[in-house]
Amino acid sequence: MLKFLTNTRLFFVGLIKIIFLSKFKNLHKTVPVDKREVIILGNGPSLGDLIENEPFLSHIKSLDVLGVNAFCDHPCFEKIKPKYYMLAAPDYWVDGVKDLYIQIRTSIFGNLSKKVDWEMYLFIPWEAKKKKFWQDELAKNPNIKIIFFNMIPFEGGRSFKHFCFNKRLGVPRLHNVIGPSIMNVMWLNYTKIYLVGVEHSWLPQISVDENNYAFVGQPHFYDKDAKPDRMNGVDGVGHRSLHEIIYKFYLTFKGYFEVQAYAKEKQVEIINLTPDSFIDAFPRQKLDIFIKNTK
């Protein structure tokens, strides 16, 4: 009974979100897709070794590639030439964020505008459409096509959620760029999705100092020596407490199980190639087997 009442409440909450927040325009149908497999490049530490691995780089040429966040700031971006790119965090477009994040997003949009000399599709939530600064920058490069998508989180019964996902009205409650990346390529009808550079190994790097400030390390392949820092609050305002950090990670890992359930329904394989990844929702495969088997 409690589960029924909870799902009923979430159903009506979801309906309200659909009416007031979701956009009904399907831009994914404008993307030409002639391959069935895609690889998503997370920016975790292990990606640094992979982008120097010629057999790996050679083999992913037979797949479509999706890059995320600050990947375009690295020289390998122009070598790999990903077909897709994903920016999902509000820090990339909301007002009132720290100067550091303004510098980061200015660098990202600037590099995308300057570097992309191939056709590339950028996935970004509809909420970002309200801000013109990034659109004006990317408008300088006709090679970049913008695909807006609904980042509205849906919860509740499986039938309702999967109906919303099929209509591209929203996504599972996800707090990491990899989740919406997987959802978007599933919407493009890829049947096999590989993940690399998705360690998500933040839990051992959480600490609290003598002032009760919570810190967490989130290393990337381009800044392995980065020190643990305080995590931004909602929309970049303030900082998160320990319970908020842990809850965000809880939603991230739980959300992957939602994604996997949806993938199974659509008969899509999601395969994690990342050594020592903390993600426990997707089947794993060793990189050497992937390289050997990829045609």
pLDDT in tens, 36-74: 999 999 999 999 999 888 999 998 989 999 999 999 999
| pTM score of the predicted model | 0.91
Q: Which helix (H) or strand (E) holds 84?
A: strand 84-86
The domain limits of the chain are 2-293
More confident residue, 151 or 229: 151
Between CA 277 and CA 44 the distance in angstroms is 10
Between CA 67 and CA 55 the distance in angstroms is 19
pLDDT score for 6 = 54
- Separation in Å, CA 58 to CA 53, 113, 270, 291: 9, 26, 21, 9
More confident residue, 223 or 268: 268
* Token representation of residue 263: 């993938």
Nearest CA to 110 out of 132, 79, 133, 88 is that of 133
Q: In what order do the strands lie in the sheet with 192-196?
A: 144-149, 120-125, 84-86, 64-68, 37-41, 192-196, 269-272
Q: In the predicted model, what is the mean pLDDT of the chain?
A: 89
